[in-house]
Homo-oligomer: A and B are copies of this chain.
Amino acid sequence: MITRVDHIGIACRDLAASIAFYERTYGFSVFHQEVNEQQGVKEAMLRINGTDDGGSTYLQLLEPLHAESPIAKFLERNGEGVHHVAFGTADVVAETEAITGTGVRALYEQPRHGTFGSSINFLHPKDCQGILTELVQSPVHE
C-alpha cells in the first residue's frame, strides 16, 4: 500500500545554486545531504511537510556526479526540472510485486539503496503515463 508522496525528484546542474534558490524563494531548508555513487548523484533533501503515515514529503535536488549519471542524461535531453515522483510504502518488495503484477515494469529486480538508507525501486515511465515513478521504503519513518 502506498501511504504518501515521499518526494519529488528534481534534476539540477548545480546543487548549491538550487539549494540557494529554494531557500531564498520559499524559505525551505536542507534536511539532509548525501552522495549516492550507485545512483550517480549528489543530492539534498528539503523537508516540506509531515504526512499522516508518520513520514514526510521532501523535494529531492539531484546533481549528476558524472556524465554517465542518469541525471546527466536527463539534463541533456530536458534541462532542469522534475525528474521523478516517489511514493512511500511500508514494504517496497511487496508493493513492487503487486504493481508489476498489473503489467508495469520495475527497473530493478531487487530494491537498491536510496536516501537515508531507504530501500527503493523505480517503475518504468513508459508504463506510468510518462512519469518515472519511485517506490520508497524508509527505515527512518516506518
Distance A26 CA – B81 CA, assembled complex (angstroms): 24
Once the chains are docked, how many angstroms separate the CA of A5 from the CA of B130?
A: 21
A51 sits at the interface (CB 8 A):
yes
User: A8 and B85: CB pair below 8 A?
Assistant: yes
Interface residues in A, total, Cβ within 8 A = 38
Q: Report the nearest B residue to A56, measured CB to CB.
A: B52
A49: B residues at CB distance < 8 A: 3-5, 51-53, 57
In the complex, the answer to whether A102 meets B25 with C-beta atoms within 8 Å is yes
- Cβ-based interface call for A48 (8 A): yes
For chain A residues 1-41, which have a beta carbon within 8 Å of chain B? 1-5, 8, 10, 12, 18, 21, 24-28
Q: Which residues of A contact B (CB under 8 A)?
A: 1-5, 8, 10, 12, 18, 21, 24-28, 48-53, 57, 59, 78-82, 85, 87, 99, 102, 104, 125, 128-131
